[in-house]
Amino acid sequence: MSWLSEYYGYINLLAIAGAAATVIITAFVAAIYFKNIKSAKKSGELSSDSWDGIKEYKNPLPLGWAVSFLVLCIWAIWYMLAPVGLPFTYPLGAYSQIGEYNEEVAAYNEKFTAQWQNADEATLKDMGESVFIVQCAPCHGLDKSGIGGKAADLTTWGSKAAAIDSVVHGSKGLDYPLGEMAPLLGGLISSEDEVRLAVEYWSKYISDTQDAANANEAEYNAWSVCASCHDIDGSGMEGSAPDLRNYGKSAFVVDVLNRGKDGYIGNMPSFNDGRLTDIQKQAVSAYVLSDRQ
C-alpha cells in the first residue's frame, strides 16, 4: 500500500477506507432487516379502511423526508432558472468545454473573415485550392473531373454542354420547391436541337445578358419552355427553381454547397454545417471555376 500513499497522498486510502466501511455497514443493515423479516411482530396503527378484511397500516411520511423532498424541489427549480448570466440560466449559461470551443471557433472565424474579406481573386483561388483538396477532391478528384463519373465533372459543369446534358438527362436533388427537373426530352421538348437552341438563348441573353431585343425567334421559343419554370429572365420564379443567371458562376456553386445535392449521379452533402465559412465557400468556388478556357 505504500506506493498508493506515497503517490497519491492519503486521499486514495481514505476513499478505500470509505468504500470498505460502506460495504460493511450495508451488510450489517441488510442482516438486521433479514432478521426482522423472520422474527418481527406487527406493530403500528391500522387505518379504518378494510378490503375483504385486509387492512393497511397508517404510514405517514416522516417529517424529515417530506421537508428534504420539498427543499430539493425548490433547489431543482432554482438550479434550472437561477440567472447566472441572462439571457441564459444556470445549466444553460454555465461553463462547458463545448461552449468554450464554439466561442473560440466563432472568434477565430470572425478574425478570419475580417482578414480575408476583401481578398482578391488570386488569393481566393489559392485558398480555394487547399479547401478543395481536403473537402471536394475525395469525390470530385484532384483534377476536378469527377473520378470517372462518381461525382459531377467540374471541368465542364456550368458550360453549355453541361446545361444541355442536365436538360436531356434531368437534374434533381437541389431541393427547390419545384422539385426535380425530370428529363425534358420526349416530354416538354421534342428534339435535342430544341434543347440546344434554348441553351443558346440562355448562354447569350441570360448568362451573358446581351440585349435580347433582336434575339433569334427559334431560340426564344425554345427558351420559353424553360421559362415556365426558370422565368423568362432565368431568375427562377423567386426561388422556385435555380437562378440560371448564376449557373456556371460562383454564386451557383455557393448555393450548391449550402443545399447539397441528392442527385441522379450521387449524393453531395451540404456544407452548411459550419465546416466552411462564407469566405471559404467563395474561395473554393473561385478555384472550381478557375483555369477555364
Binding ligand HEC (rule: CB under 6 A), the pick from 125, 127, 200, 229 is 229
CB of 164 to ligand HEC, least distance (A): 8
Q: Does 282 bind ligand HEC (CB under 6 A)?
A: no
Closest residue by Cα to residue 121 from 6, 286, 262, 3: 286
Report the alpha-carbon distance of residue 107 to residue 96 in Å, rounded.
16
Say which amino acid occupies 183: P
Binding ligand HEC (rule: CB under 6 A), the pick from 124, 127, 268, 279 is 268
Q: Does 232 bind ligand HEC (CB under 6 A)?
A: no
User: Which of 93/141 has CB closer to ligand HEC?
Assistant: 141
Report the alpha-carbon distance of residue 241 to residue 179 in Å, rounded.
8
Q: Does 127 bind ligand HEC (CB under 6 A)?
A: no
Question: What is the b/e burial string over 105-133, where b = at least 16 CB atoms within 10 angstroms of the residue's CB?
Answer: eeeeeeeeeeebeebeeeebbebbbebbe
Q: Does 172 bind ligand HEC (CB under 6 A)?
A: yes
Within 8 A by CB and 6+ apart from 181, the residues are: 166, 167, 170, 171, 172, 229, 241
CB of 238 to ligand HEC, least distance (A): 13
CA of residue 30 relative to chain centroid, distance: 52
Q: Does 263 bind ligand HEC (CB under 6 A)?
A: yes
Binding ligand HEC (rule: CB under 6 A), the pick from 242, 245, 250, 283 is 242
Q: Does 225 bind ligand HEC (CB under 6 A)?
A: yes
Report the alpha-carbon distance of residue 1 to residue 66 in Å, rounded.
44
Report the alpha-carbon distance of residue 230 to residue 224 in Å, rounded.
9
Q: Does 286 bind ligand HEC (CB under 6 A)?
A: no
Report the alpha-carbon distance of residue 250 to residue 282 in Å, rounded.
7
> How many positions of this chain bind ligand HEC (CB under 6 A)?
51
Q: Does 226 bind ligand HEC (CB under 6 A)?
A: yes
Region binding ligand HEC by CB under 6 A among candidate stretches 58-66, 97-105, 208-216, 263-271: 263-271
* 86, three cell numbers: 441572462
Q: Does 126 bind ligand HEC (CB under 6 A)?
A: no
Binding ligand HEC (rule: CB under 6 A), the pick from 253, 279, 283, 286 is 253
- HSE value, Cβ hemisphere, 13 Å, CA-based, for 86: 0
Residues in contact with ligand HEC by CB under 6 A are 135-136, 138-140, 151-152, 154, 157, 163, 166-167, 171-174, 176, 178-181, 184, 188-189, 195, 198-199, 202, 225-226, 228-230, 241-242, 244, 247, 253, 256-257, 261, 263-269, 271, 284, 288
